[in-house]
Amino acid sequence: MDRTTEIPPQGWFNYFAGLSRRALSHPVRVEVESMEMGAQELVHALPLLGIDVEPRGSELGSIEFTLGDEHQDFLHRIARPVQVYLKIDDNGDLDCLAIEDRSGTRTLLFFEEGGVSAWVHPSIQEAEPPVLGL
Domains with residue ranges and CATH for the chain: 3-111 (2.70.180)
Q: Collect all residues with Cβ–Cβ distance below 8 Å to 47 and sequence separation of at least 6.
A: 25, 26, 27, 28, 67, 68, 69
3-state secondary structure of 83: strand
The pLDDT score that the predictor gives to residue 122 is 59
Q: What does pTM read for this prediction? A: 0.88
- Burial of 118 from C-beta contacts in 10 A (0-12 / 13-18 / 19+): buried
Q: What is the pLDDT of residues 41-87, one digit of tens each?
A: 999 999 999 999 998 898 999 999 999 999 999 999 999 999 999 99
